[in-house]
Amino acid sequence: MKRLFSFRTLLFLTSTILLSLLSCSHHSEISLSSLDLSATKQGWGKVQIGKSITEKELRIAGTIYEEGVGTHANSTIRILLKKKPVRFTALVGMDDAALGTGGSVSFHIVGDDQLLWETSVVKPGDQAISVDLEIRGISELTLEVRDGGDGIDFDHANWVNARFSGRVDGITAWKPVIEKAEILTPKPGPKPRINGTRVWGVRPGNPVLFKIAATGDRPMSYEVKNLPDGLEVDSSTGIITGAVAEPGEYRMKFSVSNSLATAERDFKLVVGNTLALTPHMGWNSWYVWENHVTEQIMRDAADAMVETGMADHGYRYVNIDDCWSIKPSSDNPEINGEPRDAEGNLITNKRFPNMKGMVDYIHSKGLLAGTYTSPGPFTCAGHVSAYSFEEQDVKQFVEWEFDFLKYDWCSYGRIAADRSLAELQKPYQLISSILEQQPRDIVLNLCQYGMGEVWKWGRQVGGHSWRTAGDLGISFEGIGEALFRDGFDVYSEDSLHLYAGPGGWNDPDYLLFGYLSNWKGETAPTPLSPNEQYTQMSLWAIVAAPLIFSGDITRLDEFTLNVLTNDEIIEVNQDPLGKPGWRVAKEGFLEVWKRELEDGSIAVGLFNRGEEPAKVTATWEDLGITGKRVVRDLWRQKDLGRYNHRFTAKVGRHGVVMVRIR
């Protein structure tokens, strides 16, 4: 009996241990930081494992943590739980790197669109907050960090000691399926086609330089009927030069011919006190070359604008951004030295040995040249700028024959007495009053990141465009999030479209395609997905934003060129009516935007901001139209048929279908 009892006891204990082992294979724990979180969306920087977003130790209220995830508002981490019962525990708080900055965030946990847990506003120095959630029947858990209602600056946030326990087998972080880079824009045909703006503004007596933009087989000949007195056109290049003394509207007809055909197009020159009658189109050096820009880079950019055909589609401004003047604080002999000569004139750094020669070279291509400075004593990168030398610097720009000026707030924050409307307007009123006195047309771009609702007064202080939010590419990894935040979210609110039009445009920042600086001394392909690139170009066309490309113009691939040079998309952006579009419908992540055009048709963008393909419908009621209408796909440049009451299209993740309805 004792032996039998011992055998049964042993069998029972063995079975219990085996079952426990089997059970443990399904009931254990994993840390959040052990998952592949590379698909995390956040407003700045790149998600960090075991480090803060600043790539230093995780620290909350003075306590250092070895394990955790560093992120930045607004951020989203999506975890696929597959409805398994789990427990989630963590400590959350702002990283001490944000101490003294005024940043603030809130933490939220959402399960299948249902809020499960949240904090109130958390500030730097606050003690870590404990999370302990029992979760059942949830397919997807979302860990969110939102800004505290004061923007995302310095919103460094940590999830520390975060782990899942229970049925954790198979738990993964969500990853998107990125679409292939499909080229939608048909190649230009061999016959001539005239592109770009159909209206241009100049001031009486000031120099005119305008290149007729046209695609087609070369050689081509150019003719202008009803050309005003004082102007002439080069019949082999299509470059119009001269000056018109008398104010008025001059209606012309452009004619471009090659061996196959002749194309004609009406064109209007408005001589008066209004420049920038359509949004600017061109290239800017900042997001690819930042503080490495040189004179040779600018000359190469002008060459590339012509050689790639971008100029044939209406792009014409070649603009230097920051870093061409002297940087007194630098120990690099290429950029340091005396900032001004004995007469107070600006001295360029050694990377720009012949500024006037560079501008002349750009002009020789029929293109226009832009420069950059700040109303403060230094630019954002610490180079000498215009404070107390405004009139002298403008005269220098006129002598160099620049056509465009980006005036960036930067260090003027140290000069302004406060952030009152009068102080926000003051430097721009001053510079525009000086520009208006010059014998040269210089388009003025106000760059002050939307402070004081600049769209409501930018035109009044002499601006021809004004930035409406922060830098779209301030964080390389955060460009996608910034596109939706500073593009869609900003432009769907505050009725921005009511304040822009001919002579003054809302500016959500540059087109960030192709190769960009990753802010580590290297260039890298844009983090925007193919769909997101089509989305940015489409939204910019609908809201009538300047089309200023800021990637490497000398390394354009076929896909990037197809996004930048679709003439039917550009026609929407450059429509002479100049009436920006706005959002007319929203359902979850699906949005419909429309823009009314000069010929009575409307451009419509069907956008999907969600993570999965979805059908988006534009109803005639939302669009304010009736009856059967012809719908044309603008990216593919083909008619889709006649529709009544509504138009529906399947739109990919973060994608767009852009149509014109007549």
Q: What positions carry a catalytic annotation? A: 408, 471
* Separation of alpha carbons 662 and 656, rounded Å: 19
Q: Cβ contacts of residue 521 below 8 Å, gap of 6+?
A: none
* Separation of alpha carbons 120 and 114, rounded Å: 17
- Find the angle CA(165)-CA(169)-CA(171) to the nearest 5 degrees: 80
Distances (CA, A) of 318 to 200, 206, 298, 521: 18, 20, 7, 23
Q: Which of 519, 489, 500 is nearest to 609 (CA)?
A: 489
**What single-letter amino acid sits at 121?**
V
- Locate the DSSP E strands across 192-288: 193-195, 199-202, 208-211, 213-215, 221-225, 231-233, 239-242, 248-257, 262-271, 281-284
Q: Could you tell me the two tokens for 563?
A: 């996004």
Q: Which of 88, 87, 57, 89 is nearest to 70 (CA)?
A: 57
User: DSSP alpha helices (H): ranges in 262-374?
Assistant: 286-289, 295-307, 355-364
Cross-strand partners of 501: 504
Q: Cβ contacts of residue 427 below 8 Å, gap of 6+?
A: 375, 407, 409, 412, 415, 416
Distances (CA, A) of 425 to 47, 286, 312, 327, 388: 38, 25, 37, 27, 16
* Separation of alpha carbons 213 and 256, rounded Å: 10
Phi, psi of 5 (to 5 degrees): -60, -40
Distances (CA, A) of 388 to 216, 377, 401: 49, 8, 22
CB 277 within 8 A of CB 199: yes
